[in-house]
Amino acid sequence: MTKLLENKTAVVTGAGRGIGKATALLYAEHGANLVLVDIDEAPLKEVLEELTAKGYKAVYKTANITKEADCKDVFSKALEFSPSGVDILANIAGITRDAVIHKMTADEWNFVIDVNLKGTYNMIQASVPAMRDKAKDEGVAATRSIINISSTSGVKGNAGQINYAAAKAGINGITRTVAKEWARFNIRCNSIAPGFIETRLTTAPSDDPKLGIPEQQMQMIQMLYSQTGLQRKEGMGKPQDIANIALFFASDLSSYVSGQVLIAAGAMIDTY
């Protein structure tokens, strides 16, 4: 196998579960050294153990990405781990609190904007010493990449997700802006906008009663998928489907691509 990320250091948020975990494992398989970040320590530790048992180099840092100080601590740890800087930042942590607009509370709105939108902004701003400043000092020979996770909700809107749709659309604005501001340092910035992916966020019942998709809505999504989605052996979206794109954006395979939003929804974009 050709390793696409040899000698690279990657910071991955949301690395304890789902898409973040799949991305961290894939980056490690491709030779990257990992700084794993999540708000929950227990799953993060398990991922670290899985990586180190396979001989990969990784550390973890628990952080709440809504807190600027936590994000700065992540990059202090990353610079201890890799004094030459960080090459890849995958902003994957995210959360939902679904409700239609006439039922949404201020807390639900603020929470989802804080974690998804402000969290992504906080992490990129905190990456300045480890990414932008390193690139500025060293010139443009090294390639660096930021990958943000948006959603089809942020591109098309989605009934019941006004907070999440706004946050994820905002992430696409951040992506295009960082792509323009940091192009001079050869730092690329792209978004992935997944449709339905089987993770804790979508699979009910979950360990958090506020997450997961209600049974009736799930049946509707499955019916739509069976009629209009990609018919493939894996069925509906899996974390690996998104990790594969995160690898493409992290690696030099996408060396001339920046400021893009790539939708990965198994052909369901116009229906779901």
Ligand X SMILES: NC(=O)c1ccc[n+]([C@@H]2O[C@H](COP(=O)([O-])OP(=O)(O)OC[C@H]3O[C@@H](n4cnc5c(N)ncnc54)[C@H](O)[C@@H]3O)[C@@H](O)[C@H]2O)c1
133-172 mask for ligand X (x: CB under 6 A)? ----------------x-x---------------------
Site for ligand X in 79-118 (CB under 6 A): 92-95, 115
Alpha-carbon gap, residue 121 to 190, rounded angstroms: 14
CA 32 to chain centre: 16
* Positions marked active-site: 164
Q: Closest by alpha carbon to 11, among 98, 63, 75, 76?
A: 75
Stretch that binds ligand X, among 1-9, 14-22, 80-88, 174-182 (CB under 6 A): 14-22
DSSP lists the bridge partners of residue 38 as: 62
Q: If binding means CB under 6 A, how many residues of this protein chain bind ligand X?
A: 30
Q: Does 181 bind ligand X (CB under 6 A)?
A: no
- 266 contributes a contact to ligand X by CB under 6 A: no
Q: Which of 39, 89, 162, 245 binds ligand X (CB under 6 A)?
A: 39
Spatial neighbors of 37 by CB under 8 A, at least 6 apart, are 11, 12, 13, 14, 15, 44, 60, 61, 62, 63, 65, 74, 93
Binding ligand X by CB under 6 A: which of 23, 33, 127, 199?
199
Q: Which of residues 62-81 bind ligand X (CB under 6 A)?
A: 63-66
- Confirm if 205 and 161 have CB atoms less than 8 A apart: no
Q: Does 17 bind ligand X (CB under 6 A)?
A: yes
Indicate the residue among 115 and 174 with the shorter CB distance to ligand X.
Answer: 115
User: Which phi and psi angles does 37 have, rounded to 5°?
Assistant: -130, 135
Residue 74, CA distances (Å) to 60, 159, 167 in order: 9, 35, 22
Give min distance, CB of 186 to ligand X, in A.
26
Q: Which residues are near ligand X by CB under 6 A?
A: 13-14, 16-20, 38-40, 43, 63-66, 92-95, 115, 119, 149, 151, 194, 196-197, 199-202
